[in-house]
Structure 1
Amino acid sequence: MQTKINWFEIPSTDFSRAISFYERIFDTKLRMEQFGEVPMGIFTAHDGDGVGCVVHGEHFIPNENGPILYLDADSGLDKILARIESAGGRILMEKMALPRNLGYIAHFMDTEGNRLALHAEQ
Structure 2
Amino acid sequence: MNDLIIFDGVCHLCTFSVRFIVQHETAPVLFFTPLQSKTGTHWLQAHGFDPADTKTFVLIQNDQIYTRSEAALRVTKYLRWPWRGLEVLRILPRPWRDAIYNYIARNRYHWFGQNEVCMLPKPDLRARFIE
Normalising TM by the smaller chain, what interval? under 0.3
Higher radius of gyration, 1 or 2: 1
Structure that is richer in strand per residue: 1
- TM-score, length basis structure 1: 0.23
